[in-house]
Amino acid sequence: MLDWDDPFAAPAVKEETDESAANDAPNVANVTGVPIDTASAPAMSLPQANIAPVNPDDKRVINGMTDINQLAPFKYPWAWTYFLNANKNHWTPLDINMAQDVHDYRHKLTLEERHVYENVLSYLTTSDILAMRNIGLAVMEKMSAPELQIYQARQVYEEALHTWTYQHCIETIGLDQSEIYNRYRVVPEINQKIQLANNRLNSIMRSDIDLTDPDELENFVMAYAFFAAIFEGCWFYNGFSPIFALQRRGLMKGTSEQLQYIMRDEVMHASFGIRVVKQIIKEENLVLDPAKIQAMFEEAEEAEKIYASYILRDPILGYSKEDHLGQFRFIANRRAKQLGFEEPFPGVEAALPWLDEQANMKKEKNFFETKVTEYQTGGALNWD
Ligand SMILES: [Fe+2]
Ligand SMILES: [Fe+2]
């Protein structure tokens, strides 16, 4: 049995002795575990008692002055709802059977399909590290309303869970880990996408950014918009689709199921981030330049084109680089509209009309009862 006092210790049978029985007596200890002599401890100076509760109207997404430690009343109840919904999508990669994937990879995938599978995983696993660092290290600390940070804290955990999921897939399939994890550094077509994100992230990875400065504010909001609308909202969404194309042919179904769970999270991350960005724009009276938004989507499209030309240099059955890029443009239009801007690629049709349906699990396994049940929160989650 796990010893919660020392989780790495070997289980030991505790012998009941006079000494241990004596130690069962209640004891007062401080956080370091050192007993406190309550008789001689000095009287505590208590905090001031008559401090008015936070007025939710005073809260702001950034640059707020209200007590960050008082959760409610909420000014942004939707953020709390995101947190509650996020907790309905819980799984671990160990819950999904990968045995058939091992067989498929070794005996059924073509060389071109293996190339796609490996490089998609290589890109995704690096991306999720960036996503985690962005929200946890650069964004969260800039928020001044705790209900926003609560969801973002959950998001940090989910990005770590996604990284575990890719690691589980890579390890289970038996890929060379040092080679797969290093690939984003040696394949320029993958690296250039990571560098675009890294540049945005590095520009806001400072705790001394003054968000009352208009230039700093614009840069922060553009970086957050990039991560929510493009990095998570397009590149992750679209990033899974080559594997879903295999799943449609009955291949790599375990990996695909893992990605379906991740996709649920990512769609919520994108949606939440876009909502936060729009709220900042409103509260700070910020006017983003539509030309800069257009340029951001076009730069992402160019990066996606280069990426697709590598991972799909040879098309696989039912999926080509043209499909991949067409779907990117279609999803990019959706995200730009959600941000409140014109479509960057007007008139584009869905290149993969099956993708929304494929990505949306109608059922979920109830892992605790080992039976398939209806996914109860499907109606609460907007897959746009
Ligand atoms: Fe993620
Ligand atoms: Fe994410």
Question: How much is the pLDDT for 49?
Answer: 67
- Range of the structural domain that residue 274 is part of: 76-380
Please identify every residue whose CB atom is under 5 Å from ligand 2, which is an ion: 131, 232, 266, 269
> How much is the pLDDT for 45?
76
Please say if the pLDDT value at position 14 is more than 90: no
The Å distance, Cα 270 to ligand 2 centre, comes to 7
- Give the pLDDT confidence score for residue 37 in this predicted structure: 54
| 276 CA to centre of ligand 2 in angstroms | 14
With a cut of 80, say whether residue 140 has pLDDT above it: yes
Residue 375 lies in a domain: yes
Mean pLDDT of 187-216: 97
Give the total number of structural domains in the chain: 1
Q: Is residue 314 part of a domain?
A: yes
11-20, 22-31, 147-156, 246-255: least confident range: 22-31
The reply to whether 364 falls in a domain is yes
- The rounded distance, in Å, linking the Cα atoms of 241 and 87 is 25
Q: How far is the CA of 187 from the centre of ligand 2 (A)?
A: 23
Q: Stretch 40-58: mean pLDDT, rounded?
A: 77
Task: State mean pLDDT over 171-198.
Answer: 96
pLDDT score for 367: 40
Q: Is the pTM of this model over 0.75?
A: yes
Query: Does 26 reside within a domain?
Result: no
Per the domain annotation, does 245 fall within a domain? yes
- Residue 211 Cα to ligand 1 midpoint, Å, equals 26
| CA 138 – ligand 2 centroid, Å | 14
Q: Is residue 375 predicted with pLDDT exceeding 50?
A: no
Look at 85-94, 197-206, 270-279, 356-365 and tell me which has the smallest mean pLDDT: 356-365
Distance from residue 346's CA to the centre of ligand 1 (Å): 28
What is the mean predicted confidence (pLDDT) over 89-101? 94
Range with the largest mean pLDDT of 19-33, 35-49, 166-180: 166-180
Percent pLDDT > 90 in the chain is 76
Neighbours of 49 (CB within 10 A): 5
pLDDT band with cut points at 50, 70 and 90 for residue 3: low
CA of 262 from ligand 1 middle (Å) equals: 6
Question: Considering the domain boundaries, does residue 16 fall inside one?
Answer: no
Is the predicted pLDDT of residue 197 greater than 70, yes or no? yes
* pLDDT above 70: residue 194: yes
Backbone angles phi, psi at 229, to 5 degrees: -85, -35
DSSP collapsed to 3 states, the chain: CCCCCCCCCCCCCCCCCHHHHHHCCCCCECCCCCECCCCCCCCCCCCCCCCCCCCHHHCCCCCCCCCCCCCCCCCCHHHHHHHHHHCCCCCCHHHCCCHHHHHHHHHCCCHHHHHHHHHHHHHHHHHHHHHHHHHHHHHHHHCCCHHHHHHHHHHHHHHHHHHHHHHHHHHHHCCCHHHHHHHHHHCHHHHHHHHHHHHHHHHHCCCCCCCCCHHHHHHHHHHHHHHHHHHHHHHHHHHCHHHHHHHHCCCCHHHHHHHHHHHHHHHHHHHHHHHHHHHHHHHCCCCCCHHHHHHHHHHHHHHHHHHHHHHCCCCECCECHHHHHHHHHHHHHHHHHHHCCCCCCCCCCCCCCCHHHHHCCCEEEECCCCEEEECCCHHHCCCC
The predicted model gives 134-146 an average pLDDT of 98
- The alpha carbon of 128 and the centre of ligand 2 are apart by a number of angstroms equal to 7
Average confidence (pLDDT) over 51-78: 95
Predicted pLDDT of residue 11? 53
What's the pLDDT at 9?
Answer: 65
Count Cβ atoms below 10 Å from residue 189 Cβ, excluding itself. Answer: 18
Note the ligand closest to the C-alpha atom of 233: 2
Least confident interval from 39-43, 204-208, 234-238, 260-264: 39-43
* Residue 37 domain-assigned (yes or no): no
| CATH code of the domain covering residue 266 | 1.10.620.20
How many residues appear in the chain? Answer: 384
pLDDT higher than threshold 70 for residue 372 = no
Residue 198 lies in a domain: yes
